[in-house]
Amino acid sequence: MSTESESAAVQIGESFVGSGVNAAHINTVLGHRDGPAGAAWATALASPSPGHVPFVAVLRPSLPVKPLTLFVTKAAPETDAHGTHIWGPAQAGVAAGVADAVAAGTIPARHADTHALIAAVWVNPGADDAEQIYRNNREATRTALANGAAGLPALDEVLAARDTPSNPFYTPKDALSA
């Protein structure tokens, strides 16, 4: 039986791994099935929207990863190839990354059957290398979970970067001269 604070605790993580069209961007929400994360997990599974159909990540058919992980795509499949990259290498990478986190103790083994995980996953419609998609999603998932467990990023790091924001899609002109 979990304590009230364990049920309510939610770990939120983020990680971006790789570059170009095969990069992976993962956001994770991990928490007890009896708490807000479990409620969000069930609600998301029961509330698909056009192009965004959450599904349980599996290591192979009929072998879901634990803790049960809901894969939510951030980009609706634009082509058959894009859909295959989402449901194939990205999903396999997420499942393997979750298993890596359990094996490393980032997610305690005792949480495998008591916690639920949501992974919001970006797969670029232009992605073209299944092996790189798999590797990047595996590492991004593992890293997002580690970041969530450690409460990262540190607030000092966030505040230090506030005047120079950037991402792979945009860097403000004034950030370059700051």
Question: What is the CATH code for 4-177?
Answer: 3.30.230.60
The domain limits of the chain are: 4-177
Catalytic residues: 25
Give me the residue label for tokens 């299944």: 130
Could you list the pLDDT tens digit for every one of the 178 residues in the chain? Answer: 444 455 458 999 999 999 999 999 999 999 999 999 999 999 999 999 988 889 999 999 999 999 999 999 999 999 999 999 999 999 999 999 999 999 999 999 999 999 999 999 999 999 999 999 999 999 999 999 999 999 999 999 999 999 999 888 888 887 555 4
Q: What is the pTM of this model?
A: 0.91
- 3-class secondary structure, 112: coil
The whole-angstrom separation of Cα 159 and Cα 116 is 31
